[in-house]
């Protein structure tokens, strides 16, 4: 039985914790920053405004258990509608609002797929879209609702379905992860213990509410703990990462988070500054780094760059989680040094064995530990025959616990194969070593070549050594011909074809041969916006593979245009 805090009991539902937060303090706020300034709303105000929306939903004919999509343009509107759904028993899904409905548009593609999976629910947007490209959907705005009347009593139980979080789709089409009130509450309580929250503390966030880290980590968790929370609109952070750094200083933020791509964006911003700002990050105790494979180089560079501004390196927290676990699975303990270990890449890839080596070793691979398991989770690491492996041996990470989903919405077969003897198969590859868990790759992102396997993200990290290849602008994939068994290793790089691309291919091919003994078969140059990513920055390699197999890149291949001997 996991350790539980005084905040938890087994019957709690999401409406319960909003009412609790609303009555805890009149001065505890949700702060909302955008490019025009800041706004605040107390938990009490949120309850009042959400109740009005709940009345409107009931008047619209929405019943307990009905599905609702929220794809609105700003955080305040999203939160009020979200809680309106919770209060009347509707089951919401939050999606990225499409910037446009014309052309190739990943948010539109995802919305259409989710709309069909949820059997054509109401779709909340800030403005009803119009135009020839707009698909026929049940669009609605909050202002359209008839909000006259009172909210009828709705019986909501802890085991009722509360929310459907659609996966980011890094390895395939999005799947609807079903989370009950109980699932969410158990994970919120574990996060609360792991981050040691106390009254009047503050969280700061720029991640979108359509992502589980933004919604559950930085909205529901502080609300569960009845503490202050601040949010920056994601698009404003991308335009100006300084807004986030200013927020951390000005509001004395204790806990925040940032995946790799955000750290890289912030580093570029800081290095371009002409004068030193008056930042002070001494209040920060946790900067949670997760949601995508952790780059040790970017993490270390970030810590070094912020050190002059009183950033304590112990505040950097590599973590591991997934939407199927509600959110969090492992944390680096609060305010303890993060752990980076150098492993022999050959032993790890060939023998699944974690062998520590010197950082200067030619086969060294630096991997950040993601800490220890949260108190609501059990971890089991198994081989492909579902046999548990020993510490120091890499395998498939399987999870069990109260926060784990029961499965995927309307996908019983996929739900069934995701569980083995009650354990959820994450598809992630990892291992336990000297008390820390490490994530070394993802099963579907393994590239096979000459009888060995390689993780795509490791090849991408290595490629950063080539001039012209930067973070987020390279993607590796492997394709096996099912008839011949021939294996093709492909690198997709943002840029244009030509002599520079041919030289890049020579350098990259020689680097991979000399370092890993792997042969790069093709280099394909693509536009920067053609490298698809999820909302958390994960590369969607499968989409590039699909386009490659469809022959869309036939004019972009720069290999084979010069004698092979020139490559040596």
pLDDT tens digit sequence for 247-263: 999 999 999 999 888 99
The CATH 2.30.38.10 domain(s) of the chain lie at 340-443
Cα angle value 244/249/253 (rounded, 5°)? 80
Residues 310 and 496: their CA atoms lie apart, in Å, by 42
pLDDT tens-digit profile of 312-343?
A: 999 999 999 999 999 999 999 999 999 999 99
Question: What's the order of all strands across the beta sheet hosting 138-140?
Answer: 91-94, 67-70, 122-124, 138-140
Provide the pLDDT for residue 482.
47
Q: Strand (E) positions, 322-470?
A: 328-331, 340-344, 364-368, 372-373, 377-382, 395-401, 419-420, 423-433, 436-442, 446-449, 452-455
Which of 447, 445, 388, 396 shows the shortest CA–CA distance to 417? 396
Mean pLDDT value of segment 201-212: 95
Burial letters for 30-42: b for 16+ Cβ neighbours within 10 Å, e otherwise? bbbbbeeeeeebb
* Degrees, nearest 5: CA angle 564-565-568: 105
First to last CA, the chain: 59
Q: How far apart are CA 224 and CA 203, in angstroms?
A: 12
Domain with CATH 3.40.50.12780 in the chain: 14-233
> What's the CA gap between 404 and 425, in Å, rounded?
11
Correct CATH for 340-443 of 3.60.15.10, 1.10.3720.10, 2.30.38.10, 3.30.200.20: 2.30.38.10
d(CA 36, CA 45): 22
Strand-by-strand arrangement of the 474-480 sheet: 474-480, 487-494, 522-526
Q: How confident is the model at residue 483 (pLDDT cuts 50, 70, 90)?
A: very low
Q: Is the pLDDT of residue 563 over 50?
A: no
> Does residue 368 contact residue 296 with C-beta atoms inside 8 Å?
yes
pLDDT at 444: 67
β-pairing verdict for 395-401 and 372-373: unpaired
Distance CA 511, CA 65 (A): 55
Across residues 165-178, what is the average pLDDT?
75
Question: Tokens in use for 561?
Answer: 């245009």
- pLDDT at position 54 over 60: yes
Distance CA(122)–CA(126), nearest Å, equals 13
The number of beta carbons lying within 10 Å of the beta carbon of residue 527 is 10
- Two structure tokens written together for 5: 């805090």
Angstrom distance (rounded) from CA 195 to CA 200: 14
User: Which of 95-109, 360-374, 499-513 is most confident?
Assistant: 360-374
Percent of the chain having pLDDT more than 90?
A: 61
Q: To 5 degrees, how large is the angle CA 460–CA 450–CA 479?
A: 60
User: What does the alpha-carbon distance between residue 290 and residue 329 come to, in Å, rounded to a whole number?
Assistant: 11
Rounded Cα distance, 264 and 464, in Å: 13
160 phi, psi to nearest 5 deg: -70, 150
pLDDT at 9: 82
Which of 24-38, 205-219, 225-239, 462-476 is predicted least confidently?
462-476
pLDDT in the model for residue 82: 98
Report residue 414's pLDDT band, with 50, 70 and 90 as the boundaries.
confident
CATH fold of the domain at 450-567: GMP Synthetase; Chain A, domain 3 (3.30.300)
- What does pLDDT average to over the chain? 88
pLDDT band for position 202 (cuts 50, 70, 90): very high
Burial of 500 (0-12, 13-18, 19+ CB in 10 A): middle
**Hunting for tokens 């492996």 — which residue is that?**
389
The whole-number pLDDT of residue 2 equals 47
For residue 279, what pLDDT is reported? 96
Q: Are 426 and 397 in contact (CB under 8 A)?
A: yes
**Do β-strands 436-442 and 423-433 pair in parallel, antiparallel, or remain unpaired?**
antiparallel
Q: In whole angstroms, what is the distance from residue 433 CA to residue 405 CA?
A: 27
pLDDT at residue 464, rounded to an integer? 83
Rounded to two decimals, what is the model's pTM? 0.82
CATH node for 14-233: 3.40.50.12780
DSSP class of 323: G
Mean pLDDT for the stretch of residues 489-494: 88
d(CA 178, CA 336): 34
Tell me: pLDDT of 564 over 60.
no
Give the pLDDT of residue 561: 42
Residue 484 has pLDDT above 60, yes or no: no
- Read off φ and ψ for residue 348, nearest 5 degrees: -70, -40
Look at residue 463 in the predicted model and tell me its pLDDT.
86
DSSP state of 408: B
Helices 260-271 & 296-306 angle (0-180, nearest 10): 40
**CA–CA gap between residue 505 and residue 472 (Å, rounded):** 18
Q: Tell me which H or E stretch contains 200.
A: none
Q: What is the Cα–Cα distance from 400 to 378, expressed in whole angstroms?
A: 5
């Amino acid at each position: 039985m996991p350790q539980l805090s005084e905040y938890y009991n087994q019957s709690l539902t999401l409406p319960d914790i909003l009412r609790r937060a609303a009555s805890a303090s009149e001065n505890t706020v949700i702060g909302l920053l955008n490019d025009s300034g800041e706004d605040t709303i107390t938990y009490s105000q949120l309850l009042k405004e959400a109740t009005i929306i709940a009345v409107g939903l009931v008047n619209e004919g929405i019943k307990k258990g009905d599905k609702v999509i929220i794809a609105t343009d700003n955080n305040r509107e999203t939160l009020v509608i979200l809680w309106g759904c919770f209060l009347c028993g509707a089951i919401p899904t939050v999606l990225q609002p499409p910037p446009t409905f014309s052309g190739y548009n990943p948010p539109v593609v995802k919305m259409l797929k989710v709309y069909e999976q949820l059997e054509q629910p109401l779709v909340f947007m800030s403005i009803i879209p119009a135009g020839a490209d707009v698909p026929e959907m049940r669009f609605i705005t909050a202002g359209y609702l008839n909000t006259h009347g009172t909210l009828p009593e709705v019986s909501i139980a802890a085991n009722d379905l509360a929310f459907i979080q659609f996966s980011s789709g890094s390895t395939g089409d999005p799947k609807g992860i079903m989370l009950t009130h109980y699932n969410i509450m158990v994970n919120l309580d574990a996060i609360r213990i792991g981050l040691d929250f106390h009254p009047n503390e503050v969280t700061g966030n720029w991640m979108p509410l359509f992502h589980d880290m933004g919604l559950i980590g930085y909205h529901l968790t502080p609300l569960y703990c009845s503490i202050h929370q601040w949010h920056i609109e994601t698009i404003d952070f991308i335009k100006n990462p300084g807004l986030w750094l200013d927020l951390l200083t000005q509001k004395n933020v204790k806990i925040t988070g940032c995946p790799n791509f955000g750290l890289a964006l912030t580093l570029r911003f800081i290095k371009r500054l002409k004068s030193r700002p008056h930042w002070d990050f001494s209040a920060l105790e946790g900067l949670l780094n997760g949601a995508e494979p952790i780059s040790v180089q970017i993490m270390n560079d970030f810590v070094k760059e912020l050190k002059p501004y009183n950033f304590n390196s112990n505040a950097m927290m590599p973590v591991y989680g997934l939407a199927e676990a509600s959110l969090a699975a492992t944390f680096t303990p609060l305010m303890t040094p993060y752990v980076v270990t150098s492993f022999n890449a050959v032993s790890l890839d060939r023998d699944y064995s974690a062998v520590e080596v010197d950082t200067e070793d030619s086969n060294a691979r630096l991997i950040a530990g993601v800490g220890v398991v949260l108190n609501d989770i059990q971890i089991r690491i198994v081989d492909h025959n579902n046999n548990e492996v020993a510490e120091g041996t890499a395998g498939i990470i399987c999870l069990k616990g109260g926060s784990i989903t029961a499965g995927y919405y309307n996908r019983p077969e996929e739900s069934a194969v995701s569980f083995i003897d009650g354990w959820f198969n994450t598809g992630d590859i990892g291992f336990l070593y000297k008390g820390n868990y490490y994530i070394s790759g993802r099963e579907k992102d393994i590239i096979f070549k000459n009888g060995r396997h390689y993780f795509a993200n490791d090849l991408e990290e290595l490629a950063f050594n080539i001039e012209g290849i930067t973070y987020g602008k390279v993607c590796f994939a492997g394709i096996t011909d099912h008839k011949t068994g021939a294996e093709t290793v492909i690198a997709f790089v943002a840029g244009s074809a030509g002599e520079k691309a041919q030289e890049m291919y020579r350098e990259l091919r020689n680097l991979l041969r000399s370092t890993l003994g792997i042969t790069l078969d093709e280099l394909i140059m693509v536009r920067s916006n053609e490298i698809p990513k999820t909302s958390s920055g994960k590369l969607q390699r499968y989409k590039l593979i699909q386009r490659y197999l469809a022959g869309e890149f036939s004019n972009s291949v720069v290999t084979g245009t010069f004698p092979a001997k020139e490559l040596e």
